[in-house]
Amino acid sequence: MIANLISRYSFALLDVLTVSDYEITQDSDYNGKSQVIFYRKPNAEEEDFMILHDEGTGYQGIIDSIERAEDGGHYTLTLLEMPKLFDQKLIVANEALLKTGIEDFIANQITDHFISNVDERVNLPYLTVTAKTHTPVAAKVPTEEGGIYNLCTYIGNALTNYGIFMDCTITQQGIDLVLEKREQTDLKIDTGVSELRNVSEIYKVKALAKLTVVWRQELQQEGAEPADPIIIDTVRQFFLKTDRTITEDMEEPDRAKGITDTLLIQAETEAEMWQEVRNQFKSNSYQHKISFDLAPTARLIKPEDLYIGHTCKVKTESGIKDSFLSKISYSSKHASISISLGNMKVGLIEKLKGVGQTR
């Protein structure tokens, strides 16, 4: 495997090395850390980019650390995933773009803060970003106090909640980012076949069934100062039905069983409030994680189908579930590929009705 090292600031090619060993990890939270070993000192620094390429294998990452072995025999570089380039807290702005598309909002934030920032010293002029699709949503950006949010975290949530991918292509001219909601064909996975080894399954039901919402609206009274809005709090209750729809009818006979929660939602419109309610119920899941090793001779899953966020239908002893590839790990020392499937969305009506036991 060959490694190309590229400067973060000038985008110049700094070095080309042969990789001795590598261990690559990617996950849906973009917290995967990879390691690459060289037998000579690389001409690079922390925050520079690395491209790994070989037949059938490719990876792009950001250098997080460079460590020299005590005997001086080799150097270990730890890499972060490319979306960590945007691991920065920002003050939310231009939220209205969400009505056009989540992709448009993310592209705007990358442009304003990393390409066309008024502070030119922080700009990365070799970056381009394109919103290829447009997925409108009636929801505000989740923020901390003061309207602060993390852009990398938001990009990760866009992948897991809405299936919006950020594809990164590195060329000689720069880094091209494309935001796109992909049309996917579900990957079919049967955990009982011999190609899957060391299968591990963790299973536990946890479903939000009742949500009490304090809907806070800030209304501007005519003639009043902007700093003195009228605050109106409205309490509403929402219930999950066994068909996974939402009702406000407390007497609904098909209410699902599960936990209750209370949430403050600040939203100007009822549509925005409803979107956040749907997001809360949508996050319902089994704590149902499956991991396995894929044999190197496997024909069940093609190499091009192994990417984070790929939706799948997985057959286990407990039935067929909807999920997605949430973690992929592979290394030069092991022929097999380790795969994890993320928390699976609630998919069995019987579980919502309270039938069956946690195991």
Q: Is the pLDDT of residue 221 over 80?
A: no
**pLDDT band of 290, cuts 50, 70, 90:** confident
- Of 143-152, 191-200, 247-256, 283-292, least confident by mean pLDDT is 283-292
41-93 per-position pLDDT tens digit: 999 999 999 999 887 568 999 999 999 998 888 999 999 999 999 999 999 99
**Bridge partners (DSSP) listed for residue 291:** 200, 340
2-53 per-position pLDDT tens digit: 999 999 999 999 999 999 999 999 999 899 999 999 999 999 999 999 999 8
The domains spanning 2-81 and 187-205+286-352 adopt the same CATH topology: yes
Look up the pTM and report it. 0.75
- Provide the CATH topology of domain 2-81: Elongation Factor Tu (Ef-tu); domain 3 (2.40.30)
Domain residue extents for the chain: 2-81, 88-181, 187-205+286-352, 208-283
Per-residue HEC secondary structure of the chain comes to CEEEEECCCCCCEEEEEECCEEEEEEECCCCCEEEEEECCCCCCCCCCEEEEEECCEEEEEEEEEEEECCCCCCEEEEEEEHHHHHCCEEECCCHHHHHCCHHHHHHHHHHHHHHCCCCHHHCCCCEEEEECCCCCCCCCCCCECCCEEEHHHHHHHHHHHHCEEEEEEECCCCEEEEEEECCCCCEEEECCCCCEEEEEEECCEECEEEEEEEEEEEECCCCCCCCCCEEEEEEEEEEEECCCCEECCCCCCCECCCEEEEEEEECCCHHHHHHHHHHHHHCCEECCEEEEEECCCCCCCCHHHCCCCCEEEEEECCEEEEEEEEEEEEECCEEEEEEEECCCECCCHHHHCCCCCCC
Mean pLDDT of the chain: 88
Give Cα 62 distance to the centre of its chain: 17
Q: The CATH number of 187-205+286-352 is which of 3.30.160, 2.30.230, 3.40.50, 2.40.30?
A: 2.40.30
Q: Is the pLDDT of residue 187 over 60?
A: yes
**pLDDT value, residue 243:** 75
* CA atoms of 208 and 225, how far apart (whole Å): 40
Q: Is the pLDDT of residue 179 over 90?
A: yes
With beta carbons less than 8 A apart as the criterion, state whether 124 and 173 touch. Answer: no
**pLDDT value, residue 5:** 97
Q: Is the pLDDT of residue 247 over 80?
A: yes
